[in-house]
Amino acid sequence: MRSEDMHQPIRLQDYAPPAYLVDETHLCVQIFDDHALVEARLVMRPNPALDKHGALILNAGDEVTLEHIEVDGAAVADPVREGESLILPAISASHFEVRSRVRLLPDQNTRLEGLYRSGGMYCTQCEAEGFRQITPYPDRPDVLSVFTTRVEAPSEYDCLLSNGNPVGMGPLENNRHFAEWHDPFPKPSYLFALVAGVLDCTEDSFTTASGKSVDLKLYTEPHNRHKTRFALEALKRAMRWDEQVYGREYDLDLFMIVAVDHFNMGAMENKGLNIFNSACVLADESSTTDGGFELIEAIVAHEYFHNWSGNRVTCRDWFQLSLKEGFTVFRDSEFTADMHARAVKRMDDVTLLRTQQFAEDAGPMAHPIRPDSYIEINNFYTLTVYEKGAEVVRMLHTLLGAEAFRRGSDLYFERFDGQAVTVEDFVACMAEVSGIDLTQFRRWYEQAGTPRVDVTSEYDVAAQTLTLHFAQSCPATPGQPDKAPFHIPVKLGLLGRQSRLPLSFTTEHSGFDAANQVFSLRAEEDSLVLSDVTEPAVPSLLRDFSAPVVCDYPYSGEDLKLLVIADDNSFNRWSAMQTLATRTLVALVQQAAGEADELRQTLLSATSAVLADGLLDPAVKARILQLPAQAYIAEQYSPVDPLQLDQVHTELRTWLACELAAEWQQVLSATRADEPYRFEHRQAGRRALHLCALAATVLADDSGWQAARELFERADNMTEQQGALRLWSQVANTEWDTAMEQFWQRWKSDAQVVEQWLGICAQRPGMTVAGVNQLMQHEAFSWDNPNRVRSVIGAFVMRNPRGFHAADGSGYRFLADAILKLDGMNPQIAARLCTPFTQWRRYVPAVQAAMQAELERILAPDGLSDGVYEIVSKTLQ
């Protein structure tokens, strides 16, 4: 068979409702030393919404060995198995029961989908299509069922967990025992979970707004017991926030989290039993960085928020993934903004979007936040579906305002509780409560690509009017050559060029929401006439990143500097600095000598002004002082020579460090720790700025690394210790080797720190493929643990440009080899590692040729997974 025939796409337009429904699912999962048996009893009926029902098709994955299946007591002798489908004859009875028994080998499940073993525990991962690897089932999100689960295992596995409430437990023969769980809320199979292990439990409780007490339990392997407090506290904050901001209370009496070491993603929102990658939940003050704490708090909240946005109201099909993910990311991002600093959270989110999601939108895998086809659904857990999806929900929030948006979400949760729905259903609620016509807005769900908004202006001194001309466009993306105009909310303000103060203005334009200063750009071109503008002004556009677009305005360097120094929107101060630095870097790369020099000088004086600003929040200052990532600069021009870009980037950082050495020194000493470590915004901001100044110090002079060593030795916290090691790695002298070894000895029994340590090694400047291969011989590395693979291979190919893009092509060969090896073990991880190759057409010819050869080599073997096949074949198209 040709590979195109083996890897067939699934299309949204082919959606058909399920022929049969499952009212009750009764599972008995028996775990033995070297295998597991799963017996299922499904209480089913034909879907009353349909006239014709046809064959009963259950999904059964290839990990499942079918031992027996019967319908209403009659064994089905030879059920037809085609790919992942198990086809049984049509059934006309109004109700019937399907019973099955299958055998599984969890120890050999390296894909980490379905039931698998992680270290000493058994656990499951069912989203998106893992449940079919546990039992034959209509494994699709629009089949909702009430689950009762019995788990039987050797008694040494003292914790036997599943969704819902415990309803029974007891001993069995042969030193075995059982537990039974019942989840009263109908749910799709992807939310099923089961855990069996020798686990320690940290308990807490939460009283809901209506006075119900909920038990909170966090399960870990015993040696991690000391790392549970932070996540439990974060969980309680999230529970309270969801009550206050969305009016959503928790619905069961018990909420459990389990930490597992082997996990493909960050965490999973299984009903009442969230399963977390250990790296995304375990924390304590001695071993976790500020970034780690913030991430854990956000992920704990994200999974908790899914209880409503995802579980109570779920997705009709996987094309609707952004319905739950975009909305839930928006919710967790607002939660973080409320817990810490709104503008800073915005800068961090927008950085991620601009550096990675924009690249996705511009590459071969570009898809709308609601894709219309896929070969492997796991490839669509993307930045586009998650982060751009969240931006789309944020735009609705901006257009409706907080109060109407809340009415919209109340209506959505109430109307669709217990149902599997579509993005149209969500948008319709928002339109209904607000009266805003969102027909055009829906294009955000349908069209891929990052729109551009080009703005120009003219000022009429006599009339005191400033006219802003807007023109929107969107580049072609695979399968979508032409785009219709989007509904784009552009939040804006003006800054007086002379007064350097915010200017007020009026306008008659019906698309301008004066209360929120948001212009609804709907047409391809439109003009906004602003009156009562008393002096020439610099427009501050797309404030708070009010839409996921590229917004361009012909600012002079001085305009940008003015915005950096004086804009009253702190997000836009950062954004202006990003624009200034981006322009400078692009001019330097393209060797536009005169322009580059002028921009560089302006950047220098803006940097100096920011360094001297005593009123700026240190967290904001640290972000303003950070140059945009190389990945972002690489999106601005083509062809890209990645080694030249790395050199120019380093040279500019070094030049800024040297020119302003005294100022950086001053910041370095002003931000030294003067109190014991705590994770809180003010301290984290100070540390971020301290590390920023340390980075400049290391770059500026040959002995700068001594300051890094001094910090490494002095710091009482992981943020500064690791930050110092990373910066010092640029010098990578024998003292650094010693410090790294010392760090390893101190932390080698802490899995989360070891993962960070591996990352520092892999990202070290000067690291080569030979060096990474050696690192992969280290006892800390393991091919079957996705975190370790990400820490070493992922870090090297995504965050070590010199190593990955080595001129001899060794980095590309290394990555292709790793993808091919992993594809046989864990295709999800293999597919994710293909990302660096997707940009191949943007590079200079030599790089293109070398990458293309590797892509073709990956595609050659038979039996490639759908995931890798999809990305690589689309990349080569």
The residues carrying an active-site annotation are: 303
Q: Min. distance of Cβ 369 from Zn ion in angstroms?
A: 14
Closest residue by beta carbon to ligand 0A1: 265
Q: Min. distance of Cβ 328 from Zn ion in angstroms?
A: 5
Q: Min. distance of Cβ 190 from ligand 0A1 in angstroms?
A: 8
Beta-carbon contacts of residue 211 (< 8 Å; ≥ 6 apart): none
Which partner from the list Zn ion, ligand 0A1, none does 401 bind, CB cut-off 5 to 8 Å by kind?
Answer: none
Give the whole-angstrom CA distance, residue 205 versus residue 215: 5
- φ, ψ at 452 (rounded to 5°): -110, 140
Which CB sits closer to Zn ion, 128 or 541? 128
Give the whole-angstrom CA distance, residue 319 versus residue 370: 6
- In the chain the first and final C-alpha atoms are separated, in Å, by 20
3-state secondary structure of 101: strand
Instruction: Give bridge partners of residue 37 from the DSSP assignment.
Output: 30, 103
Q: Min. distance of Cβ 119 from Zn ion in angstroms?
A: 25
Q: Min. distance of Cβ 276 from ligand 0A1 in angstroms?
A: 9
Give the position of tokens 């039996």.
Answer: 863
Whether the Cβ atoms of residue 34 and residue 155 lie closer than 8 Å to each other: no
Q: Min. distance of Cβ 267 from ligand 0A1 in angstroms?
A: 5
CB-side neighbour CA atoms (13 Å) of 3:
17
Question: For residue 793, what is the DSSP state?
Answer: I
**Which has the closest alpha carbon to 383: 326, 343, 429, 330?**
326
Whether the Cβ atoms of residue 115 and residue 64 lie closer than 8 Å to each other: no
Whether the Cβ atoms of residue 572 and residue 492 lie closer than 8 Å to each other: no
Which CB sits closer to ligand 0A1, 378 or 477? 378
Whether the Cβ atoms of residue 698 and residue 705 lie closer than 8 Å to each other: yes
**Which has the closest alpha carbon to 693: 733, 718, 720?**
720
Q: Min. distance of Cβ 755 from Zn ion in angstroms?
A: 22
Count residues binding Zn ion (CB under 5 A): 2
Tell me how crowded residue 88 is: count the other CB atoms within 10 A of its CB.
Answer: 18
Give the whole-angstrom CA distance, residue 193 versus residue 151: 11
Give the whole-angstrom CA distance, residue 256 versus residue 250: 12
Which CB sits closer to ligand 0A1, 268 or 797? 268
Which CB sits closer to Zn ion, 153 or 267? 267
Q: Min. distance of Cβ 420 from ligand 0A1 in angstroms?
A: 15
* Amino acid (one-letter) located at 587: A
Give the position of tokens 């995504």.
Answer: 798
Whether the Cβ atoms of residue 801 and residue 646 lie closer than 8 Å to each other: yes
Which partner from the list Zn ion, ligand 0A1, none does 810 bind, CB cut-off 5 to 8 Å by kind?
Answer: none
Q: Min. distance of Cβ 263 from ligand 0A1 in angstroms?
A: 7
Q: Min. distance of Cβ 271 from ligand 0A1 in angstroms?
A: 12
Beta-carbon contacts of residue 791 (< 8 Å; ≥ 6 apart): 755, 756, 758, 759, 762
Which CB sits closer to Zn ion, 127 or 659? 127
Whether the Cβ atoms of residue 33 and residue 154 lie closer than 8 Å to each other: yes
Which CB sits closer to Zn ion, 192 or 712? 192
Q: Min. distance of Cβ 610 from Zn ion in angstroms?
A: 36
Give the position of tokens 């404030």.
Answer: 543
Report helix, strand and coil shares of the chain as percent, to nearest 5. Answer: 45, 20, 35
Which partner from the list Zn ion, ligand 0A1, none does 381 bind, CB cut-off 5 to 8 Å by kind?
Answer: ligand 0A1
The Cα-based distances of 625 to 292, 544, 555, 604, 693 in angstroms read 21, 18, 20, 11, 9
| Chain centroid, CA 8 distance in Å | 27
**Which uninterrupted H or E stretch holds 681?**
helix 681-700
* Amino acid (one-letter) located at 523: A
Tell me how crowded residue 673 is: count the other CB atoms within 10 A of its CB.
Answer: 16
Which partner from the list ligand 0A1, Zn ion, none does 57 bind, CB cut-off 5 to 8 Å by kind?
Answer: none
- φ, ψ at 86 (rounded to 5°): -115, 115
Which partner from the list Zn ion, ligand 0A1, none does 125 bind, CB cut-off 5 to 8 Å by kind?
Answer: ligand 0A1
Specify the stretch interacting with Zn ion by CB under 5 A; choose among 289-297, 322-330, 719-727, 821-829: 322-330
Which partner from the list Zn ion, ligand 0A1, none does 622 bind, CB cut-off 5 to 8 Å by kind?
Answer: none
Ramachandran class of 634: left when φ > 0, alpha when ψ lies in -120 to 50, beta otherwise: alpha
Specify the stretch interacting with Zn ion by CB under 5 A; choose among 168-176, 275-283, 320-328, 754-762: 320-328
**Which has the closest alpha carbon to 616: 566, 580, 664?**
566
Q: Which string of b and e fits 491-509 if b means at least 16 CB within 10 Å?
A: bbbbbbeeeeeebebebee
Which partner from the list Zn ion, ligand 0A1, none does 599 bind, CB cut-off 5 to 8 Å by kind?
Answer: none
Q: Enter the tokens of residue 91.
A: 């059934």
Give the whole-angstrom CA distance, residue 364 versus residue 448: 11
Which CB sits closer to ligand 0A1, 230 or 381? 381
Q: Is 610 exposed, middle or buried (0-12, 13-18, 19+ CB in 10 A)?
A: buried
Q: Enter the tokens of residue 24.
A: 């009750």
Q: Min. distance of Cβ 784 from ligand 0A1 in angstroms?
A: 16
Instruction: Give bridge partners of residue 731 from the DSSP assignment.
Output: none
Which partner from the list Zn ion, ligand 0A1, none does 267 bind, CB cut-off 5 to 8 Å by kind?
Answer: ligand 0A1
Specify the stretch interacting with Zn ion by CB under 5 A; choose among 112-120, 318-326, 375-383, 843-851: 318-326
The CA-based diameter of the chain, rounded to the nearest angstrom, is 94
Using CB under 6 A as the criterion, which residues of the chain lie in contact with ligand 0A1 when the complex forms?
Answer: 125, 127, 264-269, 302-303, 325, 378, 381, 828
Beta-carbon contacts of residue 330 (< 8 Å; ≥ 6 apart): 389, 390, 391, 393, 394, 397
Q: Min. distance of Cβ 324 from Zn ion in angstroms?
A: 6
Q: Which residues bind Zn ion (CB under 5 A)?
A: 325, 328
